[in-house]
Amino acid sequence: AVNAETMNSKAHFIKKAAHPKNIAVIGGGIGGMEAARVAALRGHKVEIYEKSDRLGGVFVPASAASFKGKLRELLAWYELQMKELGISVHLRSEVKDLSSLKADEFIVATGSNPRRFGLKGEGKAIDAIDYLNGKEVGQNVAVIGGGLTGCEVAYELYLSGKNPLIVEMKDDLVKQTGVCMANSQYLRDFFAWKKVNVYLSTKLKEIKDGSIVVEGEDGEKELPCDSVILSSGYVPAPKFPASKNVHWVGDCVKVGNLRSVIWRAYEVAMKL
């Protein structure tokens, strides 16, 4: 997943660029760093502009869980690659106008935003990213969304001594493509073993102070909770329109997984 050349060396291999260019990468997540890495290996001069105070993007909070050590190692490896390849990294640098940068090509890797539904009381909840970044929650926590991220958040909550419950619209947990079956089945089995309350085929209707209102196949019910964490997916957020010399990579194209982010970034950088 993390090496686009593995088992695909005929299609994916580094080829030096015929005409080295100045390339600006907007966004320092894994997609942006992979594009920068490949472009630099091809001989281009690359600069990364990241609005936050560190590289990694959404994978920084995604790697925060106690069982995400390998992802933290991957982030550290990418940061090392930026240094070893001489890629200039500008942190706390939000780009508002591409014309302010002196570059021949622009790679936009501005990621995605959490999906919102406009439900009553939605502002009382926090995003999964907020929790993973260290925001405090109460003892009894409702996790809205039983995809991989939501289940991993609930798993981490349980390991930290909290009492999570999961609300999922679909008829099963982690019902998405591209997830290792061993991982998804482990999560299902773990929640069943630990008697974590899981509400399948159930929609969130409202968030109140101290409870949520949900609707399932047996009608509406109110579930008590101290905190609500939203994990209902993301929507692409490209900051600049694509054009002949402006290229999108990562989640700002289509929200995907680690493999899809890395592979698209690799392929885009190979075409510059």
Q: Does residue 2 lie within any of the structural domains?
A: no
**Same domain for 26 and 46?**
yes
Buried b vs exposed e over 69-82: b needs ≥16 C-beta within 10 Å? eebbebbeebbebb
Q: Does residue 73 lie within any of the structural domains?
A: yes
**Same domain for 26 and 86?**
yes
Q: How far is CA 171 from the centre of its chain?
A: 24
Answer yes or no: pTM beyond 0.85.
yes
Note the pLDDT tens digit of each residue in 221-266: 999 999 999 999 999 999 999 999 999 999 999 888 888 899 999 9
**Same domain for 70 and 155?**
no
Q: In the numeric block, which tokens belong to residue 78?
A: 């990418």
**Same domain for 144 and 181?**
yes
CATH number at 33 reads: 3.40.50.720
From 230, 246, 261, the end of a domain falls on: 230
The pLDDT score that the predictor gives to residue 2 is 80
CATH number at 186 reads: 3.50.50.60
Note the pLDDT tens digit of each residue in 189-198: 999 999 999 9
**Same domain for 84 and 53?**
yes
- pLDDT of 1 higher than 70: no
Total number of domains constituting the chain: 2
Q: Does residue 159 lie within any of the structural domains?
A: yes
Note the pLDDT tens digit of each residue in 25-38: 999 999 999 999 99
Q: In the numeric block, which tokens belong to residue 268?
A: 């885009």
Q: What is the mean pLDDT of the chain?
A: 94
181 CB-near residues (< 8 Å, 6+ apart) = none
Question: Would you place residue 176 in the very low, low, confident or very high pLDDT band (cuts 50, 70, 90)?
Answer: confident
Note the pLDDT tens digit of each residue in 123-149: 999 999 999 999 999 999 999 999 999
Q: Which domain holds residue 61?
A: 22-113+234-270
Q: Does residue 4 lie within any of the structural domains?
A: no
**Same domain for 121 and 213?**
yes
Radius of gyration of the chain (CA): 20
The pLDDT score that the predictor gives to residue 8 is 74
Q: Does residue 142 lie within any of the structural domains?
A: yes
**DSSP-derived secondary structure for 194-233:** TT-EEE-S-EEEEEETTEEEEEETTEEEEEE-SEEEE---
The pLDDT score that the predictor gives to residue 237 is 92
Q: Does residue 208 lie within any of the structural domains?
A: yes
